[in-house]
Amino acid sequence: MSSNTRAAAVAVVVVAFIAGILVGVAGDHLYLIRNGRLYPRHATRFAADRMAERLTHELDLSPQQKTQVQQIIERHRAKIDATMAAVRPQVRQELDATNAEIETILTPAQKTKFADLRMRIGARRRDRGSPRQ
C-alpha cells in the first residue's frame, strides 16, 4: 500500500471517528433534552428564548419578530423531537458499526486506547447530562 493510499485511509477513519463522536454527542444531548434529563421541562422555553435572543442579536430583529420567532420554534419543537427520536436508533447503529469496523484495523494496544477513549467521551457526556444540584 502506497503512503498516499495509507494516508487517505487514515484520514477517512479519523474523519469517520470524529463524525461518529459528534453525531453521538448531539443525539445523546437531544435524547436527554427530550426526556427531561438534561433540562427540566420549563427549560425548553428557555432554549427557545435563547435561540430567539441570538437571532435578535445576529439579525437585528424587532420585538415583534423576536416574539414570532419564539412562537415558530415552539410550534415546531414537538415534530423536531419526534424526528430525532425516530432517527436516533439508526444513527446509534451506524456509529456502532463504524466503531466496530475501526477496531478491525487496530492493533491490540490501539484497541485498548480506543476503548478507553470511548469510555472517557461517554463519561464526559454523562457528566454534562447529569442534573445540577
78-96 tens-digit pLDDT: 888 788 888 888 888 988 8
**pLDDT number for residue 62:** 92
| pLDDT reading at 64 higher than 90 | yes
| Residue 30: closest CA among 19, 39, 21 | 39
30-40 tens-digit pLDDT: 666 655 554 44
Hey, where are the domains in the chain? 3-129
- The amino acid present at 103, given as its one-letter code, is E
Q: Residue 44: pLDDT band by 50, 70, 90 thresholds? A: low
Give the pLDDT mean for 98-124.
88
The number of beta carbons lying within 10 Å of the beta carbon of residue 52 is: 21
Burial class (CB in 10 A: 0-12, 13-18, 19+), 43: middle
Q: Which three cell numbers stand for residue 79?
A: 415534530
| pLDDT reading at 108 higher than 90 | yes
The number of beta carbons lying within 10 Å of the beta carbon of residue 73 is: 19
**pLDDT number for residue 31:** 64
| Residue 97: closest CA among 7, 30, 20 | 20
| pLDDT reading at 99 higher than 50 | yes
Q: Residue 131: pLDDT band by 50, 70, 90 thresholds? A: very low
Q: Residue 20: pLDDT band by 50, 70, 90 thresholds? A: confident
